[in-house]
Structure 1
Amino acid sequence: MTINIKKCTLEDSRKLQEIGCETYNETFKDHNSPENMNAYLAGAFNLKQLEKELSNISSQFFFAFFNNEVAGYLKVNTGDAQSEEMGDESLEIERIYIKNKFQKHGIGKYLLNKAMEIAMEGNKKKIWLGVWEYNENAIAFYKKMGFVQTGAHSFYMGDDQQIDLIMTKTLI
């Protein structure tokens, strides 16, 4: 078993679109209407939007490869790229998704460790993320990794208002 991480560039936008849609759909399609899923995917994963995010110096994307196949990806934000105002001492994990067939192989932990490494290199004091309140597997994983719930915010899936728990880990 070999896990590798590669930083994404603009040239990776189509592959990022593909894995982003696939993993998001796998994770949430059973809990949302097709209309709301399609609306979200069209907004969050269109090429123009992904190219804008890939070009933002305050955001970084990484692919995780499992035995040379793209298995998942990570998106981290600092500064004003964060989806909530958390200040310059924070790093946000905006997305961490693993294809279903690659879950339970340690890839999520590998990507989380990459995010923590980036945070520490940037002298960040905390790392945070939003996780859907009903995503019990993800919540359990983040708790195991030392995150605690520090708040909540609304997230819209199409026209459906949902709640994301804000979970934070102090680094320093």
Structure 2
Amino acid sequence: MNDALLDFAVDAPRHLQVACTIERGTRTDAGDLSAFAARTYLDTYAHYARPEKLHRHVDAAFAPVRQAEELADPHTATLLARRGCLAAFAQVRRSDAPPCVDGAFPVELHRFYVDRCWHGRGVSQQLLAEVRRAATALGGATLWLKVWEHNARAIAFYRKSGFVDVGVSDFFLHDDRLTDRVLVTSLASPLPFPRPAGTAPCSRS
């Protein structure tokens, strides 16, 4: 159950699409981001893991102090998608890639969370387009991620978005060993879907 795998609708009919403002987060966003990440993670995995282990993971991974550190990390880009309120966020970072990722200059899509009420509205596609730009700005030529092997909807979205499955990686929820699929795409490849009209580009400031 790695973090870049939250369940969302694969397709967004054009008449349901909405345009979001997407910008890079700062330390002042830590509180809102912490609450949003914890809520969406628990909403997704409440039925798949023991509550005590899930809450320990959430408390460690999404504490406001931890989020503030990640927001300030120059090797991590945290992208916030808003439609009035926070609708989704993604984190892209420089990190060590697993051996099955053999593309040049790999950058990781570490987290990709979309609030359930925005599923099927085109938010995922808009955010992924900005993820690719942020990964390129971090010096990447290859974008990779880990996704839980049983999250079929997320895997379908990533495959439709140009990712290919290259292997597996372990994920430990305390002493529970789970299996993630490792997916990769080239940042030189064009997106298979257009940017919806009215989408604001990511701020680089």
Asked if these proteins are the same fold (TM beyond 0.5), I'd say yes
Matches of 1:19 and 1:88, distance apart in 2? 33
For 1:94 and 1:109, how far apart are their aligned partners in 2? Answer: 16
SS in 1 for 2:150: coil
Contact 2:19–2:123, Cα closer than 8 Å, also in 1? no
Partner of residue 84, structure 1: 97
Other-structure match for 2:15: none
- Which structure has greater strand proportion? 1
Q: For residue 32 of structure 2, what is the aligned residue in structure 1? A: 15
- Higher-RCO chain (CA-CA 8 Å, sequence separation at least 6): 2
CA distance in 2 between counterparts of 1:122 and 1:160 reads 33
Equivalent residue, structure 1, for 2:68: 51
1:119 deviates by 2.6
Post-superposition CA distance 1:26-54 (Å, at most 9, x none) = 11111111011111101101122212212
Corresponding letter in the other structure for 2:97: E
Shift of 1:17: 0.3
Give the equivalent residue in structure 2 for 1:114: 130
Alignment partner of 2:57 out of 40, 44, 51: 40
In 1, the alpha carbon distance for the partners of 2:40 and 2:91 equals 13
Q: 139-148 or 151-160: which moved more?
A: 151-160
For the pair 1:6 / 2:19, whether they are aligned, the reply is no
CA distance in 2: counterparts of 1:61 and 1:169, whole angstroms: 20
Residue in structure 1 matched with residue 90 of structure 2 by the alignment: 74
For 1:62, the equivalent position in structure 2 comes to 79
Residue 187 of structure 2 corresponds to residue 171 of structure 1? yes
Can you list the C-alpha shifts for 1:140-167, whole angstroms capped at 9, x where unaligned?
0000001001121111123211111110
TM-score (norm 2): 0.77
Counterpart among 160, 171, 174 of residue 155 in structure 1: 171
**Unaligned segments of structure 1, at least 5 residues:** none
Name the one with the larger helix percent.
Answer: 1
Counterpart secondary structure, 2:46? helix
Give the RMSD, CA atoms, in angstroms.
1.7
Q: Which amino acid aligns with 2:185?
A: K
After TM superposition, give the deviation of residue 6 of structure 1 in Å. 2.0
Of residues 18-27 and 47-56 in structure 1, the stretch that sits farther from structure 2 once superposed is: 47-56
Contact 2:90 2:112 (C-alpha < 8 Å) held by counterparts? yes
1:132 aligns with 2:156: no
CA–CA separation in structure 1 for the residues paired with 2:123 and 2:43: 17
Question: Which structure 2 residue ranges, 5 or more long, are not aligned?
Answer: 1-17, 189-205
Fraction of identical pairs, as percent: 27
Is contact 1:35–1:158 with CA below 8 Å preserved after alignment? no
